[in-house]
Amino acid sequence: MEKQEQLTVHDLIADQDLCASDVHLIFDLAGRVKASPASYAQALAGKQLAMIFEKPSLRTRVTFEVGMTSMGGFAVYLDHSKPRLGERESIKDVARNLDRWVNGIVARTFSHSSVVELAENASIPVVNALTDLLHPCQALGDYFTLTEKFGRVKGLKLAFIGDGNNVCHSLMLTGARLGATVRVATPSGFEPKTEMVEQAKALARTTGAKIHVLRDPLEAVAGVHAVYTDVWASMGQEYAAHLRTQVFAPYQVTESLMQAAGPDAVFLHCLPAHRGQEVIDAVIDSSRSLVYDQAENRLHVQKALLLLLMQSH
């Protein structure tokens, strides 16, 4: 990594914090890390990362932990499912203690404000590894995957079908920043948050992108390059799973919906997938599906992010 390669941000808390040059820098370094992982085998030697997780995880935990280890560093997993962050001791004290011991913090929390408070009280970099509001690392991995497939993000059209959740917010914000058109199709009452839509539209006006919130999945997928969906009941919403299954049934990604998107459209999902609910096997297991490329690229993109954020800490 070249010394002049630096992000304009100290932390990654929200998608909208990254400018386009930041995202392209992460993608460029991720591509080099992916092509030659041995070249970065000692890039974070002697560095430690604290991983605070309130929610269960496969991809996020493994990719951050393996990412640190494969670059010569070390990751400490802190299970905060019980008690949650801030219940046993204040978030401020957690941040100020970790600040003395490790070189960075990755936090996966229910409340977005918890990650914000960590960053406000730590001098070391803090990375949002998912909150109820945003999932910026996922969006970076997704758009890096689309860049690999199509050679660009600007001008691409992506349809998000389903719940207007944290993943949807991050796809809108980072897509708008990079010049992609994002169409969201949700049932009434499950739209993305208004402030996230407005922020994405404001970014889109500067890049030529378009952000649309629709009802009809067929209208959303017409002519898109990628169809994206997520689970109908996210972590913490299991109590409403039965209701959501009924409401979201018309939003299932089927072969006919993929055909409506066009012959070259790819399928994306952040995983875990509930097969037979938001997507059927014939789609997620098809040659159009890039879900495992997305999962792999979380590793490469997050390694690049850690390198850029932790190089001076």
Positions annotated as catalytic residues are 108, 135, 138, 230, 270, 298
The whole-angstrom distance between residue 5's C-alpha and the CA centroid of its chain comes to 22
Sheet of 126-128: strands edge to edge? 74-79, 48-53, 104-108, 126-128
CA distance 297 to 66: 13
Exposed / middle / buried, residue 300 (Cβ in 10 Å: 0-12, 13-18, 19+): buried
Contact predicate 196/136, CB 8 Å: no
Strands (DSSP E) found in the chain: 48-53, 74-79, 104-108, 126-128, 157-161, 181-185, 211-214, 226-229, 266-269
CA distance 53 to 276: 28
Q: Nearest 5°: CA angle at 265, between 259 and 269?
A: 100
Determine if the peptide bond prior to 56 is cis (ω within 30°): no
Exposed / middle / buried, residue 207 (Cβ in 10 Å: 0-12, 13-18, 19+): middle
Closest CA to 257 of 186, 155, 159: 159
- Enclosing H/E stretch for 201: helix 194-207
**Tokens 């409403």, residue located:** 240
